[in-house]
Structure formats: structure tokens, C-alpha cells
Structure 1
Amino acid sequence: MALELEEAFGAAGEFGGGQRRLTAFLVLLQVYVACQSMLIVLVGAAPEYHIDQEEVPVSRAELAKHVHFASNFTSIVTEWYLIEQEAYKVGLASSLFFAGLLIGNITFGPLSDKLGRKPVYISGLFFDVVFGYVTALAPNYDTFAVSRFFVGIVNGGMALVSFVLTQEYVGKSFWSFTGSLTNLTFAVGIAVYALLGYCVREWRYLALVSNTPGIIFFLLSFMLPESPRWLYSQGKTAEAEHVLQYIALGNGKERLNLKLKPSAGTLRKDESTPGILNLVKHPVLRWRTVILMYIWSGRRRTMTSFLVFAGFACILALFLPTNAGLLFSPTLLALCGKMMVSAAFNIVYIYTSELYPTVLRNAGLGVCSMSCRFGGILAPFVPSMKSLGPFVPFVVFGISGLSAGFLTLLLPETLNKPIAESIEDLQIPKYQVLRNKKVNQSEENT
């Protein structure tokens, strides 16, 4: 008997042994992604220094003769003397990386929706490793800065595709777990990079050590199957069945014969492939994208609670004296707000991927995440908000959290709802019937 895709996942296993191995591999990849993302923090560190003459030399050659760094580590600052008038170049390299992330998010997403998850992911990882070595071996600052820009493009795009690929290997009920695990491992990767920085004090060696694991991940990535959800959304039912059978075998189900129903989103030969413009043309997707782009600067109800709590915590901190005690201090409330924002940011990745159909999932996720990259581009050059007043940061963060939290109420709930595979699934009666069936079944089980 032919099965719906979610029913086929139920038969093959939603999170069996084979899927755990696939997920573990892609989750561990986040350690490498984090090291590449945080590279500039340590290789661009500026140690204390003094100049043994009153006037600062104009030329770099003269500057090198009179500058003495008080440190036991090297960085691009100590090698290329990025101090005084040249100090802005460290921030510039960081901004170029985030500019690359922005471009990677909005290009790799639509490409993976059109060409497939696996080829775009592997290509991105390959160039990430290549440009990572260019960064480590850069003979001058210009080469270093340009390489960081290209690392940002491929690193951000590849990480986005790998996140979606992790979700699409498993049943929908495990998306929250795998998505949270991915973001958690990224945080672990930051800690791992900090440990590497403590052990490796030469910035070029640190860049090489941080980049080398990418070769292992690249070679092993060829064993990954294509996303069965993407194949099904493209009308490649036979190939989707083959991948699901492969997953079933990995889960220990050897005699399983899966047969899928034809996809509702199967394109006719005279139809064009859905593209990123559908996020603007389609009224439902347009409305969702606008709201999500704002929220990006759990599930809907959970995310709303986190954001609103974070907003109230920051606003409340305005009215507490600095000597109010540890339990009710503004610092503690600000930390609580930061914790809630981090939790909401973790959920918004998962929630966004659930709101878009498979044919546009990476494009939607890329466009939404693009909005949070502008802050990274501008951050090195924006003075601290505290210079405008000690209360300004709390007001900005509080209003942002409250408004973003309440805006999520305009978006649909995704808990126990089926995943849309095509744009047609958002509006055709068949999807609504399946959706109601899933909801009723879940309520009965509860």
C-alpha cells in the first residue's frame, strides 16, 4: 500500500540507529563551523603594546621598529601591526566575514532547494576548507580579509544547508531535538575553539588546526544520502523510496518495502521550479517571511514566552537600583533576559524550518536568517549604546523582545502539524484534511 511521506518515516523509523549516526555526523560538524565563525576573535586579538617614542611613526616599517607587544601570543595585529590608524582593519575583517554570511544565506538556500541538499552542502564544505587554508597562509592583510569574506559565504551557506539536512533525515516529531542539538553543539564548538586558542598561541597554527578537521568531514560527507523530503518534493518518488529504504536498513529493518504516494507538489514539465521570489509572490509566505525576519534580529507558544519574558526582564531592570542585591539586581535580570533570548533563538531556527514547504525551506531559512547578519556587519563600527545613556540598552532590548514575542502570535502553530512539502500543500484541501487528521490523532493519543 502506498504511504504518505510521514507514514513512510513512521515505518522506516523516525529516529533509529541509522538516523542517529547521520544526525551525529552533521551535529559534530557544527564544532568545525563554530571554529571558523569565531576565528577572528583570537587571531585578531590585540595585545597590550607601547611605542618607544612620543610621535607615532607613519610608515609600517618605522612602526615595526618602535612598537613592542607585551604578549606571549601572535595575531594578525602583531604580524601586520594593525594598531593606531590601522586598528580598524581587524573590525573590517570581521565585518567582511558577516557580509559573506549574509550572501551565503541568501544564495545557498535557493540553490539547495533547486539542486539538492547534498551537492550544495558538499560544495560549500569543500570551498570552506580551501579558503580556510588561504586564511591561515595569507601573506598579507588584504589576502586575509578577502579570504575571510569568502569563508563567510561558504561557511554560512553550508551550515544552513547542513542544518536543514539534519532535520529532513528524521521524522518531524524529532525536529526539535535535532535542531536544539545542532545549536547546542555550535556553542560547544566555541568552547573548543577557546581551548585551542589557549593551547596554540601562534595565530597561523591556530587557523590551520581549526581548519584541518574540515577535510575529514568533507571526505566522510560523500557517504551521506540526499534528503528524502527534498527528493519527494521534487517528484523523485523512486529515489526518495530508495533513501528511505537505506534509512530503514540503518535502523535494523531489513525486509521493509516502502512505496510512496505521488507527491502533491510534483511539477509538470511546463512548470518552473519554485524560487526565492515565491517568498514575495505567495501571500501566506510573504506574511510569514516579513514577521520572521523581524523576529530573527520552539514552537510558537514557547518562543513567545521566552521573548516576552526577556523583554520584561530588560524593562524591569530599568527600575531597579544597582545596589538592589544579587537576587533582584539589574545584572541578574539582564542575564535572565539574555538566557531567554538565546533559548528563543534556538527555537526560531526549528520553527522557521517548519513554516516553509520543503521546496522553499532553505530559501526561507536563509532569507530570515539574513536579517540577523546586518548586526554582525555593523557591530565593530557601532559605538556602545551605553554612551547614549546607561538605560538605552535595556530599553532597546526590552522593546525588541516584547514586540517580537507578540508578533509570533500572528504565525501558525506547528506542534503536531504535518510538514508542507510543496507550495500547493499550503492551500489544497488534501493538506488541510491530513492536517486535521494528524491533530485529531494526536489528541486521541494524548
Structure 2
Amino acid sequence: MDLEEALRVVGEFGPYQKRAVAVLVLTQVYMACQSMLIVLVGSTPKYHIEQQDGVPSSQQELHQHVTFTEDIDSIVTEWFLIKQQAYKVSLAGSLFFVGLLVGNVVFGPLSDKIGRRPVYLTGLFFEVIFGYVTAFAPSYEVFAVSRLLVGLMNGGIGLVCFVLTQEYVGKSYWAMTGTLTSMSFAVGIALFGALGYFIRPWRTLAIVANSSGVLFFLMSVTLPESPRWLYSQGRTEQAEEVLRYMALRNGKAAKNLVLKRVGGAKGGNRGNRGAGILQLVIHPVLRLRTMVLMYVWYACSLVYYGLTLGAGETSGSRYVNVAMYGLVELPAYPLCIYFINKHWAGRRKSMASFLCLAGSACFCSMFIPENTGTFLSVTSFALLGKLMVSAAFNIAYVYTSELYPTVIRNAGLGVCSMSCRVGGILAPFVPSMRALHTSMPFTVFCVSGLSAGCLGLLLPETLNGPSAETLEELTSSPHSRVLESKVTPRCTEREAHVYNTTLYCHVDCNVMIYFTSIT
């Protein structure tokens, strides 16, 4: 039997998979706290500098004449990161995102080569270690380096964690597990805001926020390797052992579970030797998909973070603002689950539509006066735009994982996430374009959203389609065409995949389509 059929025998989303996915999903809460840490520990309170004859000649003299008028404990108040030293707060935040970018590129291909589980556990372990270095940093320099290393680990395991939630379950549940991952990250942001409200000393906050990672690491130690990755590498016997273990924990008998070797042992090894970031450039199918997806991810990040920075300029409690930063995303995820599983919408149309709606919301905001106190204000359209781009961002994760074969999935996600980080790095500079014209930032967001939505339509639909495990399977699909299509009154929900033959039959609900290879 093939892998999808084996998962149906084992249980596509049985009790064991639910527990495993729950551990990975909850880990996103810890990762969200690390991502948002600098927002609170880098808070700059109001301060007063005593008038002196002349400008203080040294930082030490400045310390003696500065009085903070707000009761806030942060790296700013401890190391007096004000005036000429104020840039260091932003630098620490930028170093974290640089770490994310590098981690996306390094950890993705690495997990495709040596496995998901060892990369995930190693990355999570060192993120916890570096997180404690952040909390006990004796100087700003140590603090800044630790944020870079935490970002490196966070960016890497974030991708691997997401991929594992997909590869533990049947393909029909990928949309749900991917959405739960994104949703838990948003919840983690909101919970961090609440945590910061009750824990004010920045070192204590860093320790408490990081300690949850210890618990999630201990819970993750028992997780198995991805059976999809094992199968794609030709390690069929080990994949069968993992599947039998899942079946046992799900209360199902699968002693006679045997995976077919066609496209497994031989094809998997060939796919593994050719897999890598280079394949994203030289492979004709992957090249087009990667170029389009990189721009889509870049636009999603640029619009998402750009609108977030604009919406966050409102007055009020910084802790409430951080919480709202996460909570405003939550309505996007039920929308994703509904639309991407409908045959008339699917992944491609849903992602393109949400991106275009985000661009349209930015377009409408250009015609609203900034000081309007009505419901139709700039802030309302900005939050609407963020809601739409959050939905598109979530779909991009699920959609991208389905567009890449298993042997190169993490590499593809890593490159796309790298372009995503570039958009995040550039986003803070977009508001400064107000100097040219007040509507210029929203013009950039509008053009980015609309253009990314249109380009996304160039990608193929993956809803109810077969999941490629190796590059050979991906190569054969573009050379196939639909010769006959007929609708049957009723049929069982099943899939029959016959690889490396001239006949390919896919049955899903009421539609039976026969493909015959041109070659």
C-alpha cells in the first residue's frame, strides 16, 4: 500500500496524532513569547534629564542626570539605552529577525537531509539555553548576541515544527493542523501581553517566558520521526515501524502493514540525492513555484508587519496593544479553514482573494482622513487589512507545504520564509515614506497585496490532489493531461495512485478523472 492508504489504516488523525500535534502546536506559544520579548523588555519609559551647562561628555555622566518618570523595568532603564544609545533596542530586535532569516535557510535543508526530529529537538534545546542567557545577560552585548542566537533557533524549528504537524497526519487534515499552528502563535502573542502585565521586572519576565520551553522540550522528546520523511528517503522499514506504533497507540491493528517499494526505496534515494536548495533553481516546476511563492511570502510579511506597526501607534496600555496584536488575527483562521476546503475556492483562489482584499483595504484607507473619529477610519481599514493578510499568510504556509515534495519541503519553506523575513525587515521603513506623501505607505501595501494576489493565481491548485513524496513524482505530473472526465452519482471517498505507470486514477467524492501520461 502507498503512504496515504497506510495512514488511513493507521488513522489519519487518531488519538496519538492528536496528542503529538497538540505538543507541537503548544510549542508555538513559547516561540511567540520569544518573538515578542523585545517589545516589552525593550520598553522605553518617559524620562527627564536634569539641565546642565553643556552636553554630558560621557554615558556615565548622562546616567547621573537621568530620571525615569515611569515605573518600568527594562533593558533601557538598566543599561540607560537612551539618546545616542537608543538605537541598541531596535538593533536587538533586528538581530532576532536576522537570526530568523538565517535559521530558515539553514534548518530547512538540514531537516530534509538528517530528519525532522533531531533538528527540531536540537533547535528547541538550544533556544531554551540561549533564552536563559538572555534573561541573565550581564551586559547589553551578551543580550544582543543571545537574541541573535535565539532568533536563529526560533526561525529554524518554527519551520520544522510546522512541517511535523503536517506529516504526522493524513493529507486531508493538513489545512486544520496548519491553521492550528498559526492560531496558537497568535494566542501566544496575546498571552505574552497578559504575562507582561503581571510580571514587570524584565529579567523575571524573560525567565518565566523561557521556562515554558523546558516543559515543551520534555514533552517533545517522545515524538517519533516523520513517517513521510522516512518513506521519502527510502527507509521504508522504519516508516512502517512508526506507522505500526501510531496504529497501536490509536487502538488499531496494523500488523500486516506493508508499504510498497515503488517510489520508495529507489525513488526516495534518487530524490534525496538531488534534493536541496539548488533543485529549487534548476528544476523547471520548482523554479516557477519558488519564484512566485517567494514574492507572495515577501508581500505577506511586508503588508502584515507594516500594518501592524501603523495600527500599534494608538495610545493606551502597551500590554493591551501587544495582546490585540495577536487577538486581531484570530478571526482569520476560521475563515481559512472554511474557504480552503471548498472545491469552488481551494488554496489558490482563497490565498489570492485574501491578498487582494488586504490590498483593497489599504487602497480604501488612502481616501479616509486620518483624524476621522467614525467607524470608517484609517485604523479600521488597517486592522481589516491585517485580518485579511493574516488569513493569506496562514494559507501560504499550508499551500506551500503542499506544493513541494516531501524530500525538499523544508528547503522550499526555508527559502520562502527567508524572503518573508526580508519583507519584515523592510516593513519598518515604509512608514517613513509619509515624508513624500501621507498616502505613500498604504500605496506600497496596496500594490504589494494586489500584485501578490494576481501572481498567486499562476500556481496550481492542490486541494484533494495527490501529495508528491519525491522529485520523480513531481516531474511526472506536468507531463500529464486530462483526457477524460466524468461524474459518477455516488462513490466512496478513496484515492488510488499508481505511480510509474501510464495510468493514473484519482477518485475524490463524486468526480473520477483519468490521466494518461503523454510520454
Alignment of 1:236-251 (within 5 A): 236-251=235-250
Structure 1 residue 127 corresponds to structure 2 residue 126 = yes
Could you list the per-position Cα deviations for residues 251-308 of structure 1 after superposition, in whole angstroms to 9, with x for gaps in the alignment?
A: 2213553111115153477883521111111011011111000000241111111111
Shift of 1:250: 2.0
Residues 119 and 438 from structure 1, CA distance in 2 versus in 1: closer, same or farther, beyond 3 angstroms? farther
Structure 1 residue 399 corresponds to structure 2 residue 447 = yes
Percent of pairs with identical residues:
61
**1:295 aligns to what?**
296
Greater CA drift, 245-254 or 316-325: 316-325
Greater CA drift, 43-52 or 424-433: 424-433
Residue aligned with 1:384, SS: helix
Contact 2:497 2:505 in 1 (8 A): yes
**1:191 aligns to what?**
190
Greater CA drift, 105-114 or 261-270: 261-270
Structure 1 residue 361 corresponds to structure 2 residue 428 = no
Contact 1:10 1:171 in 2 (8 A): yes
Using the alignment, how far apart are the partners of 1:327 and 1:49 within structure 2?
35
Residue aligned with 1:427, SS: helix
Among candidates 462, 478, 481, match of residue 414 of structure 1 = 462
Alignment of 1:34-433 (within 5 A): 34-54=32-52, 55-264=54-263, 266-267=265-266, 272-297=273-298, 298=340, 299-320=347-368, 326=374, 328-379=376-427, 384-428=432-476
Using the alignment, how far apart are the partners of 1:329 and 1:42 within structure 2?
28
Residues 90 and 241 from structure 1, CA distance in 2 versus in 1: closer, same or farther, beyond 3 angstroms? same
Using the alignment, how far apart are the partners of 2:376 and 2:431 within structure 1?
28
Residues 31 and 386 from structure 1, CA distance in 2 versus in 1: closer, same or farther, beyond 3 angstroms? same
Could you list the per-position Cα deviations for residues 380-425 of structure 1 after superposition, in whole angstroms to 9, with x for gaps in the alignment?
A: 5666333332211221111111111111110000000011101111
Contact 1:315 1:395 in 2 (8 A): yes
Greater CA drift, 373-382 or 56-65: 373-382
Residues 331 and 140 from structure 1, CA distance in 2 versus in 1: closer, same or farther, beyond 3 angstroms? closer
Could you list the per-position Cα deviations for residues 304-345 of structure 1 after superposition, in whole angstroms to 9, with x for gaps in the alignment?
A: 111112222222333345688845444433322221111000
Residues 219 and 263 from structure 1, CA distance in 2 versus in 1: closer, same or farther, beyond 3 angstroms? farther
TM-score (norm 2): 0.81
Contact 2:361 2:385 in 1 (8 A): yes
Contact 2:430 2:441 in 1 (8 A): no
Contact 2:358 2:449 in 1 (8 A): yes
Using the alignment, how far apart are the partners of 1:213 and 1:369 within structure 2?
25
**1:441 aligns to what?**
508
Greater CA drift, 154-163 or 320-329: 320-329
The one-letter amino acid paired with 2:509 is S
Contact 2:356 2:450 in 1 (8 A): yes
Among candidates 3, 8, 15, match of residue 5 of structure 1 = 3
Residues 152 and 339 from structure 1, CA distance in 2 versus in 1: closer, same or farther, beyond 3 angstroms? same
Among candidates 12, 15, 18, match of residue 14 of structure 1 = 12
Using the alignment, how far apart are the partners of 1:413 and 1:252 within structure 2?
35
Using the alignment, how far apart are the partners of 2:255 and 2:375 within structure 1?
58
Could you list the per-position Cα deviations for residues 163-211 of structure 1 after superposition, in whole angstroms to 9, with x for gaps in the alignment?
A: 1011100000101100000000001101111111111111111111111
Pairs aligned (count): 443
Contact 2:236 2:265 in 1 (8 A): no
Residue aligned with 1:434, SS: coil
Using the alignment, how far apart are the partners of 2:64 and 2:171 within structure 1?
62
Using the alignment, how far apart are the partners of 1:264 and 1:352 within structure 2?
22
Using the alignment, how far apart are the partners of 2:470 and 2:68 within structure 1?
59
The one-letter amino acid paired with 1:108 is F
Could you list the per-position Cα deviations for residues 42-61 of structure 1 after superposition, in whole angstroms to 9, with x for gaps in the alignment?
A: 11110000111244423222
Residues 41 and 250 from structure 1, CA distance in 2 versus in 1: closer, same or farther, beyond 3 angstroms? same
Contact 1:29 1:217 in 2 (8 A): yes
Residue aligned with 2:510, SS: helix
Residue aligned with 2:508, SS: helix
Using the alignment, how far apart are the partners of 1:329 and 1:63 within structure 2?
42
TM-score (norm 1): 0.94
Contact 2:431 2:441 in 1 (8 A): no
Residue aligned with 2:468, SS: coil
Contact 1:307 1:402 in 2 (8 A): yes
Could you list the per-position Cα deviations for residues 367-387 of structure 1 after superposition, in whole angstroms to 9, with x for gaps in the alignment?
A: 001112124334556663333
Could you list the per-position Cα deviations for residues 212-250 of structure 1 after superposition, in whole angstroms to 9, with x for gaps in the alignment?
A: 111122222220000000000000111111111111122
Greater CA drift, 60-69 or 384-393: 384-393
Alignment of 1:22-33 (within 5 A): 22-33=20-31
Contact 1:95 1:380 in 2 (8 A): no
Residues 326 and 138 from structure 1, CA distance in 2 versus in 1: closer, same or farther, beyond 3 angstroms? same
Contact 1:96 1:377 in 2 (8 A): no
